[in-house]
Structure 1
Amino acid sequence: MESSVTADASTTPIVLVHGWAGSAEAWDPIVSRLRAKARGPVVAVRLPGSPGAPDGGTATIPGAASMLAETLRAQVGPVLLVGHSMGAQVTLLAHAMESESVLGEVVIDPAYGASDTDHSGMVEWASLIETQGHAAVYDFFASAAPTLPPATGDLLLADLSATHPAVIARYLRSEYLDSEAIGFLAATQRAAALRTKPVLAIHSTELGASRERMLPAPPGSRVETWSGHGHFLHLEAPDRFVDTVDAWHRSLTTVVE
């Protein structure tokens, strides 16, 4: 038997999951603004292998998703999940694993739904990271830093430097190249079909948004394109992002068995 239960946005936790070579501190501009809204608790998790993370855990997408599922089970009531880039793969899997603990999900420029034509590039990139270290990924992050407030851009590069190259490569392989990887479109579609709660997907490009629309999505889900923004759009426009998440948060209800 099912009954609808309206979630109280003033008490529902928001759990934030950082992206590739990121940290819990990367969410600081968002955490402070969300807390100023006087909503429920706001938790920024540390994925295995990230700066400041405790020892233990497996620095792969499945390992991070299992850790996040444990975090969800420890919360009181359903959680609003928010994942950026690689973190959106983690929230997708945790959502599927622990759907009864999820109120809804927000994904920001998620690192999934890639074209199969990108496969050889991922193989080459992972190998370069393993042989060249941070130099193989520096340009990717450095190109985003100028679009951010100076302190935020500096933190982005500091997080990269503080993340071991082996961890960076390991996550990339688990995103796209391992047998359980969900980064390419067909695998993303299979994984996304297991989500049961509404998903708000915010993309910086129409290409990303169009691929998102190819995924199975629970009723009430929505896709937005924020033209003119880059991959770290939530940090480029933190007030807009927090207002969007806050409105989404308040609109959600859960269905409990």
Structure 2
Amino acid sequence: MSTIAVKAARLRSGLVLPYAQAGGPQGVPVVFVHGLADSWWTFEPLLRRLPAALHGYAPTQRGHGDAERPPHGYGPEDFAGDLVEFLDAAGIRRTVLAGVSSGGVAARLVAGSHPDRVAGLVLAGVPATLADKPGARALAKRVRRLGDPVPRAFVEELLSGLTARPLGRGLLATLADENLKVPARVWRETVRGLLETDLAATLRGILVPTLVLWGDADALLPRADQQRILDAVPGARLLVYGGAGHVLHQEAPERFVQDVAAFAAAVLPVRQDGDAPGAGRDAAP
């Protein structure tokens, strides 16, 4: 089992984001990007399983978890900008970005705009578009009515609809607690940003190697939605998780880690000089 260290990164903007770090210091850098209302804790099951061949980072995005909560800036472009600044703050020259759910939107924006920083892109349970998803519009309607404190019943209902396989009670309780840290205004602004952004356009211009992971029991994303990603991104490859729902990294963490590790080894091989691939000399230990 890998040891998880929790640190904080101060971005150029002055924003401070907590992040978890695990795996081997000389391993291939992989930055995991969470989705709506989550924090680095959503990756806890897989961070503990990281092999020495991977050096994993999982930042908590602005407004989420224990990160700072600026009054504005919760659109996909804002999260993407923070992600680039996080790479700088952590001393990561080049990395594999692994985005899950809506976190994959920020990840693919960075992959398209900063291909020099991204060796490969993993999109796990990430929507190609939300324009044709009635569930997204229904969520936006509910979120607009939210007030503080956000009701626990609301969060628990959302979490229960993400999985096809049962998760441990302890993990579910932690995920709910982390979701409840997100103020109602951040829920509203983040959902609004996703719905007002042309998500299909964010798939254009991605030229880095891309791996698409999808569970065939995902109640939110049909196979046709994932095919749009494959059609839009040259050379993108799909791996299907049979019987898994929307949150693959929680339902099948062992396989998820294996697939990411194999992909990372192919796109950013370990260097022979002993230096961590993609890591700057000033990278966090």
Please give the range of the TM-score, normalised by the shorter of the 2 chains. Answer: 0.7 to 0.9
Instruction: Tell me, in whole angstroms, the C-alpha distance in 2 between the residues paired with 1:138 and 1:128.
Output: 17
Unaligned runs of 5+ in 1: 1-8, 182-186
Asked if 1:90 corresponds to 2:101, the answer is: no
- 1:239 maps to 254
- 1:24 maps to 40
Instruction: Tell me, in whole angstroms, the C-alpha distance in 1 between the residues paired with 2:42 and 2:133.
Output: 31
Q: CA deviation at 1:132?
A: 8.8
For the Cα contact (< 8 Å) 1:125–1:136, is it kept in 2?
A: no
Aligned residue for 1:157, secondary structure, equals helix
Instruction: Tell me, in whole angstroms, the C-alpha distance in 2 between the residues paired with 1:164 and 1:120.
Output: 20
Q: CA deviation at 1:87?
A: 0.7
For the Cα contact (< 8 Å) 1:109–1:208, is it kept in 2?
A: no
For the Cα contact (< 8 Å) 1:24–1:45, is it kept in 2?
A: yes
Q: CA deviation at 1:189?
A: 2.7
1:160 aligned to 171, 176, 179, which one? 179
Q: CA deviation at 1:217?
A: 0.9
Unaligned runs of 5+ in 2: 1-24, 270-285
Q: CA deviation at 1:156?
A: 1.3
Asked if 1:49 corresponds to 2:68, the answer is: no
Question: Measured at CA, do residues 122 and 152 of structure 1 come closer, stay the same or move farther in structure 2, by a change above 3 Å?
Answer: closer
Find runs of 4+ consecutive structure 1 residues off by over 6 angstroms: none
CA RMSD, aligned part only?
Answer: 2.6
- One-letter amino acid of the counterpart of residue 202, structure 1: L
For the Cα contact (< 8 Å) 2:118–2:208, is it kept in 1?
A: yes
The number of equivalent residue pairs is: 235
Return 49-58 or 159-168, whichever deviates more.
Answer: 49-58
- 1:102 maps to 118
Instruction: Tell me, in whole angstroms, the C-alpha distance in 1 between the residues paired with 2:133 and 2:54.
Output: 42
Aligned residue for 1:13, secondary structure, equals strand
For the Cα contact (< 8 Å) 2:33–2:104, is it kept in 1?
A: yes
Q: CA deviation at 1:253?
A: 5.2
Question: Measured at CA, do residues 190 and 28 of structure 1 come closer, stay the same or move farther in structure 2, by a change above 3 Å?
Answer: same
Asked if 1:77 corresponds to 2:96, the answer is: no
Question: Measured at CA, do residues 167 and 227 of structure 1 come closer, stay the same or move farther in structure 2, by a change above 3 Å?
Answer: same
- 2:20 maps to none
Q: CA deviation at 1:137?
A: 4.4
For the Cα contact (< 8 Å) 1:104–1:198, is it kept in 2?
A: yes
Q: CA deviation at 1:130?
A: 5.2
Q: CA deviation at 1:160?
A: 1.4
Q: Write 1 or 2 for the structure with the bigger share of helix.
A: 1
Which deviations, in whole Å up to 9, do the C-alpha atoms of 1:128-178 show, x marking residues without a partner? 3359943544411134477112222121111112211221121111111x3
- One-letter amino acid of the counterpart of residue 192, structure 1: L
- 1:204 maps to 215
